[in-house]
């Protein structure tokens, strides 16, 4: 079995899933003494202010909500001198989309996620867990994401 290991100058090592080109890391090793930053669950912004408040229409589908959340995570990290490439772990909470018969829209999640990770501009990938939940604290939200970022000394 061959593992793809990506070690960056910062000493953080990322291991791709064996035999897969899926844009996540199976393992991430953070060296001792690294600065860890924990980002609370982040929810999407309203994308259509004309839509009824607290509805999916107000926030958009899973893809647009994921894009909104990842942009908010980027802004929060940048305020601390970090960026999305410093994320080592993401946990994604998804509500089933009624437009999908109540199933989570993994394709929508992946479409937006792929704009931010494993790209030519930002090649690093975090470990990631996606979990379907019954509801989120913000009515109309389909996506909430929390993160851990690391910066080696």
pLDDT digits (tens, 9 = 90+) for 65-97: 999 999 999 999 999 999 999 999 999 999 999
Cβ partners under 8 Å of residue 37, min gap 6: 77, 80, 82, 86, 148, 149, 150, 151
- Model-level pTM? 0.91
Residues 37, 149 contacting (CB under 8 angstroms): yes
List the structure tokens of 67.
């894009």
Domain ranges within the chain, ordered by starting residue = 34-151
Q: CA nearest 2: which of 18, 15, 24? A: 18
CATH number for the domain whose boundaries are 34-151: 3.30.1330.40
Tell me the per-residue pLDDT of 97-119, one tens digit each, with 9 for 90 and over.
998 899 999 999 999 999 999 99
């Amino acid at each position: 079995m061959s593992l793809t290991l990506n070690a960056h100058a910062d000493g953080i090592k990322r291991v791709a899933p064996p035999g897969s080109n899926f844009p996540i890391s199976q393992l991430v090793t953070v060296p001792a003494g690294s600065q860890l930053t924990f980002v609370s669950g982040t929810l999407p912004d309203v994308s259509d202010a004309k839509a009824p408040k607290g509805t999916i229409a107000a926030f958009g589908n899973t893809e647009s909500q994921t894009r909104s959340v990842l942009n908010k995570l980027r802004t929060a990290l940048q305020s601390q001198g970090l960026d999305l490439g410093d994320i080592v772990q993401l946990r994604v909470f998804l509500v089933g989309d009624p437009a999908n018969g109540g199933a989570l829209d993994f394709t929508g999640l992946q479409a937006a996620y792929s704009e931010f990770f494993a790209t030519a501009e930002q090649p690093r990938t975090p470990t990631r867990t996606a979990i379907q939940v019954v509801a989120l604290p913000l009515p109309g939200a389909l996506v909430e994401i929390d993160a851990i970022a690391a910066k080696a000394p």
